[in-house]
Amino acid sequence: MRFTQKYLTYLVFTLLLLCYGCTSPYEPCAGYCQCKDGKVSVSNIVRWSGSEWISLGSGVNGLVERITADSAAKELYVFGRFTTAGGIQVNGQAKWSEKTHTWSAIGTQFPKILPSGVPPIILPINGHVFVCNLAPNKLYNPDSSFLDKSGLYKWDGQHWSILLELMPNEYDRIPPMVLGAIGDILYIAAQIHSPEIYLPKQIYLFDLQSNKITDSITEYSENFIFHSSYDFKFFTITNNEVFIDEGEGVFNYQNSELENIISITTKGNNYNSLLTANSDYVCLWNNNIRYASETKLKNVIVFDRNSYIFNDSILIPFDSSQHLERVMALKVLDHSLFIGGAYYLKEGSADVRNIGAYDLRQKKWYDLAGGVCGPVDAITEMNGSIYVGGAFTTAGKK
């Protein structure tokens, strides 16, 4: 079958659209995120103690896309495009123990949820793991038996059990996902389906004690929730509170009530929303947020929950000619906002390289001893330390 030039052009254009914004670790970062004067040898994941960078053993041999912390167990669940962790053969999934300072394969391998290889969103709680699996993926038990229904699953360290059956979502780009937990209540984004119940796509509250749906967050657009982000980074839980960027503003959800915290439209670029919060601040990044298009200065909006004052002066200067400049991760801890991605920023004595901390009280940048020499895709916190993942081989600055 012969393709005309018209169809070839269309095909190339389509492929470019699909690949635009890809975050492959093998891209050169347009000269922005690489550096040659790193101080500490690491391998794609590292810990910031508050004063220095510390390697996690020999790390992993490829891009880290997601890190999930189980603070009680002092363990990190790490996902990405790597095949070894601490020298152990794995399949893009591994666990780091801060108790033993060792890497291990996760007791069971979670299936890649989508054909694109997007890693699953898992929720570890006290050594147990919760995940939404999508049929026909199989979750294997040690005796080689498996479960292959679409549903909410629990791994108790030895066996899988299904807690709730979910719609297969065969035609949807975004599968059901577990988003977080408050106590015994899990928050899941899904379409509920069982012999007894059939409910639309929403964010549901699932009680682990009764194994039942107890409530839902119904005010959100189905298309926004299920077609905006593989990572659901527009949703965060902190200090028993839920925060959601639903496209027309950031809302706080408590006791079945919604309170508008930040009024701003992000629907045009909702797949790029990054949301983090604690008891003092709610922080939002989105490509739509900027001072003026001609300045190319993009900023993070911060809501101070104590004074009810908005701060939108945390500016990140991006050069529009460098397509790989980006912000990929936010994390607020105490009064510091950690911002990771592929960017350089110099302000005062701070020389920020791909990750920096902004002091929300002093309104001042800190460079975290020189940052890391490569793009940052994931930031999480565990027991007071910040863990950073991405594609880099050194941290700090000589």
- What's the pLDDT tens digit per position in 137-161? 888 888 888 998 888 999 988 889 9
Helix (H) or strand (E) holding 6, with range, is helix 5-19
Lowest mean pLDDT among 5-19, 160-174, 314-328, 351-365: 5-19
Asked whether residue 19 carries a pLDDT value surpassing 70, the answer given is no
How far is residue 198's CA from residue 31's CA, in Å, rounded to a whole number? 51
Helix (H, G, I), strand (E, B) or coil at 293: coil
Record the tokens describing residue 336, joined without a space: 């510091």
Is residue 121 within 8 Å of residue 188, measured between CB atoms?
no
Asked whether residue 271 carries a pLDDT value surpassing 80, the answer given is no
Strands 185-193 and 212-217: unpaired
How far is residue 126's CA from residue 291's CA, in Å, rounded to a whole number? 43
How far is residue 277's CA from residue 334's CA, in Å, rounded to a whole number? 10
Report the pLDDT value the prediction gives residue 220, as an integer from 0 to 100: 52
| % of the chain residues with pLDDT over 70 | 75
Count other C-beta atoms under 10 Å from residue 372's C-beta.
32
Mean per-residue pLDDT for 322-336?
83
Report the pLDDT value the prediction gives residue 397, as an integer from 0 to 100: 92
Is residue 397 within 8 Å of residue 38, measured between CB atoms?
yes
CB-count exposure of residue 335 (10 Å: 0-12, 13-18, 19+):
middle
Is residue 159 within 8 Å of residue 135, measured between CB atoms?
no
Report the pLDDT value the prediction gives residue 287, as an integer from 0 to 100: 67
pLDDT band at residue 329 under the 50/70/90 scheme: very high
Question: Cβ contacts of residue 303 below 8 Å, gap of 6+?
Answer: 250, 261, 262, 281, 282, 283, 309, 310, 311
Asked whether residue 368 carries a pLDDT value surpassing 80, the answer given is yes
Helix (H, G, I), strand (E, B) or coil at 72: coil
| Dihedral, CA of residue 96, residue 230, residue 151 and residue 198, to nearest 10 | 150
How far is residue 217's CA from residue 211's CA, in Å, rounded to a whole number? 18
| % of the chain residues with pLDDT over 90 | 34
Residue among 213, 187, 185 at smallest CA distance from 199: 213
Higher pLDDT, 314 or 276: 276
Handedness of CA 86, 89, 91, 96 (dihedral sign): negative
Asked whether residue 180 carries a pLDDT value surpassing 80, the answer given is yes
pLDDT band at residue 117 under the 50/70/90 scheme: low
pLDDT band at residue 204 under the 50/70/90 scheme: confident
Record the tokens describing residue 389, joined without a space: 């993942």
Tens digits of per-residue pLDDT, 294-327? 445 677 888 899 888 777 667 776 655 555 578 8
Report the pLDDT value the prediction gives residue 176, as an integer from 0 to 100: 78
Asked whether residue 288 carries a pLDDT value surpassing 50, the answer given is yes
| DSSP character at residue 223 | H
How far is residue 93's CA from residue 83's CA, in Å, rounded to a whole number? 8
Residue among 321, 322, 295, 203 at smallest CA distance from 251: 203
How far from chain centre, in Å, is Cα 249? 20
Helix (H, G, I), strand (E, B) or coil at 321: coil
How far is residue 13's CA from residue 387's CA, in Å, rounded to a whole number? 38
**Amino acid code (one letter) for 112:** K
Lowest mean pLDDT among 95-99, 104-108, 374-378: 104-108
Lowest mean pLDDT among 130-134, 174-178, 227-231, 383-387: 227-231
Report the pLDDT value the prediction gives residue 13, as an integer from 0 to 100: 31
Report the pLDDT value the prediction gives residue 282, as an integer from 0 to 100: 92
Highest mean pLDDT among 67-71, 157-161, 179-183, 324-328: 67-71
Sheet with 93-97: list strands edge to edge: 63-70, 75-81, 93-97, 102-104
Lowest mean pLDDT among 104-113, 126-135, 387-396: 104-113
Asked whether residue 235 carries a pLDDT value surpassing 60, the answer given is yes
Give the distance between the most distant pair of CA atoms in the chain: 67
Lowest mean pLDDT among 98-102, 173-177, 188-192, 345-349: 173-177
Helix (H) or strand (E) holding 16, with range, is helix 5-19
Using only C-alpha atoms, the chain has a radius of gyration, in whole angstroms, of: 21
Lowest mean pLDDT among 54-58, 133-137, 210-214: 133-137
Mean per-residue pLDDT for 108-122?
67
Helix (H) or strand (E) holding 214, with range, is strand 212-217
Report the pLDDT value the prediction gives residue 20, as an integer from 0 to 100: 30
Residue among 152, 122, 128, 156 at smallest CA distance from 141: 156
Q: Could you tell me the residue ranges of all domains in the chain? A: 28-277+330-395
Helix (H) or strand (E) holding 236, with range, is strand 235-238
Q: What's the CATH architecture for 28-277+330-395?
A: 6 Propeller (2.120)
